[in-house]
């Protein structure tokens, strides 16, 4: 499979392949209650946890396991959040977060549009999808605006450790080649 570009950009955001040096800035997000509430991983309490994740990004990119970018607003030198894409066979899935100070500006939609646009142009990708907690209304709105359809709910499917140890309902969103 062709690797995606290290940089993807539009009027609102620039996605830049992340580097280990980004971890300290991203710790503001990975340690935030608001950002991590619905995540499938526990909130980071020490920057070394974020550094540990980022130290593996280069190898995962090179192997094609996961493509991870930081999201920079087009008009400022700041890291607003992150977005990651995984391709397994003919399916691409993605996930993302933004620091709360960057919510409500259309930056997540701008970032997902770049990822979805790239995936649509790949002849081997037939399905683009994402999942989120059924109560994550902001993410549900972003996925709908990104052109993905709500396909259903996986009941009690995902543990969100920052909320509870009981698995929670997960909404599945997808877009298939027949509808590109």
Ligand X SMILES: CC(C)(COP(=O)(O)OP(=O)(O)OC[C@H]1O[C@@H](n2cnc3c(N)ncnc32)[C@H](O)[C@@H]1OP(=O)(O)O)[C@@H](O)C(=O)NCCC(=O)NCCS
Interface residue with ligand X among 54, 96, 118, 173 (CB under 6 A) is 96
Length of the chain: 180
**Alpha-carbon distance 161 to 164, whole Å?**
5
Interface residue with ligand X among 8, 57, 108, 129 (CB under 6 A) is 108
Binding positions for ligand X, 127-146, rule CB under 6 A: 132, 136, 138-139, 142, 145
Contact 72, 18 (CB under 8 A): no
| Residue 105 makes contact with ligand X by CB under 6 A | yes
Nearer residue to ligand X within complex by CB, 138 or 155: 138
- Pattern of binders to ligand X over 38-57, x per CB under 6 A? x-------------------
| Residue 35 makes contact with ligand X by CB under 6 A | yes
Query: Which residues partner with 17 through β-bridges?
Result: 69
Nearer residue to ligand X within complex by CB, 64 or 106: 106
| Residue 115 makes contact with ligand X by CB under 6 A | no
Sequence-distant (6+) residues with CB within 8 A of 109 are 142, 145, 146
| Residue 18 makes contact with ligand X by CB under 6 A | no
Nearer residue to ligand X within complex by CB, 52 or 104: 104
Contact 13, 114 (CB under 8 A): yes
CA atoms within 13 A of residue 129's CA, in its CB half-sphere: 17
Given the rule CB under 6 A, which of 58-66, 89-97, 121-129, 156-164 is the region that contacts ligand X? Answer: 89-97
**Alpha-carbon distance 49 to 107, whole Å?**
26
Report the Cα–Cα distance between both ends of the chain, in Å, rounded. 19
Q: For binding to ligand X (CB under 6 A), which residues are involved?
A: 35, 38, 81, 95-98, 103-109, 132, 136, 138-139, 142, 145
């Amino acid at each position: 499979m062709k690797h995606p570009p290290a940089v993807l950009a539009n009027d609102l955001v620039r996605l830049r392949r992340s580097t280990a040096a980004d971890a300290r800035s991203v710790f503001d997000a990975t340690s935030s209650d608001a950002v991590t509430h619905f995540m499938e991983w526990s909130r980071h309490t020490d920057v070394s946890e974020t550094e540990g994740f980022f130290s593996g990004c280069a190898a995962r990119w090179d192997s094609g396991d996961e493509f991870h970018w930081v999201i920079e607003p087009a008009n400022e030198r700041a890291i607003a959040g992150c977005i990651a894409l995984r391709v397994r066979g003919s399916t691409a899935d993605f996930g993302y977060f933004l620091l709360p100070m960057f919510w409500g500006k259309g930056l997540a939609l701008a970032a997902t549009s770049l990822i979805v646009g790239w995936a649509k142009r790949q002849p081997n990708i037939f399905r683009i999808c994402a999942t989120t907690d059924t109560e994550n209304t902001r993410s549900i709105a972003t996925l709908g605006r990104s052109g993905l359809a709500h396909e259903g709910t996986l009941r009690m499917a995902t543990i969100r450790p920052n909320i509870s140890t009981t698995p929670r309902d997960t909404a599945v969103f997808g877009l298939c080649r027949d509808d590109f």
